Amino acid sequence: VTTNDLADCEVLPDLLEQIDYPIEQVSGDGGYDTFDCYDATQERGATATIPPRSNAKIQQHPQEIAQPHPRDENLRRVNQVGRKQWKLESGYHRRSLSETAIFRLKTIFGGKLRRRFFDNQAVELFLQCAALNRMIQLGKPDSYKVEA
């Protein structure tokens, strides 16, 4: 959750710093298509699975001595195989799992927050997530192996 004066791409580096365990992949929509997001992801040893914007241009060309930037590599691959195929190859569609969870949360609790102040809104969202997680656990069947 961010305030209106911050873009998601601005807080990604701070979010990654809060995670203590290794990160394999960071997926985000085109709003995260910034060099800072790619750099923060690369610093954590993770793969950035962020689709380049439609008007993106390659910044480092193959003739340059420096290592190719991960954003340029994504853009080159999108140009080679197309955006749809890139999304399949990169595992980008795993991102839809979190999108589905947020859709479920908004459907159950409504798309608007009731609290006025940011700290209270964060608590409200935390409680909604806790309630949703509990509902999911209650709705799961108990499975066990039956011998024939």
SS (H, E, C) the chain: CCCCCCCHHHHHHHHHHCCCCCCCEEECCHHHCCHHHHHHHHHCCCEEECCCCCCCCCCCCCCCCCCCCHHHHHHHHHHHHCHHHHHHHHCHHHHHHHHHHHHHHHHHHCCCCCCCCHHHHHHHHHHHHHHHHHHHHHHCCCCCCCCC
My answer on whether 64 and 19 are in the same domain is yes
Q: Which residue has the tokens 């003739």?
A: 63
Is residue 145 domain-resident?
A: no
Give the chain's length: 148
Give dist(CA 111, CA 74) in Å, integer: 33
Is residue 147 domain-resident?
A: no
Task: Answer yes or no: are the C-beta atoms of 95 and 27 closer than 8 Å.
Answer: yes
My answer on whether 19 and 47 are in the same domain is yes
pLDDT score for 61: 65
pLDDT score for 63: 64
Give dist(CA 120, CA 126) in Å, integer: 10
Is residue 42 domain-resident?
A: yes
My answer on whether 37 and 14 are in the same domain is yes
My answer on whether 89 and 19 are in the same domain is yes
My answer on whether 21 and 71 are in the same domain is yes
Q: What is the pTM assigned to this prediction? A: 0.73
pLDDT score for 94: 85
pLDDT tens-place values along the chain, 148 residues long: 777 888 888 999 999 999 999 999 999 888 899 989 999 999 999 999 998 888 888 887 666 667 788 888 889 899 999 989 999 999 888 888 888 888 999 999 998 999 999 899 999 999 999 999 999 889 888 888 888 7
pLDDT score for 64: 62
Domain ranges, residue 122: 96-139
Total number of domains constituting the chain: 2
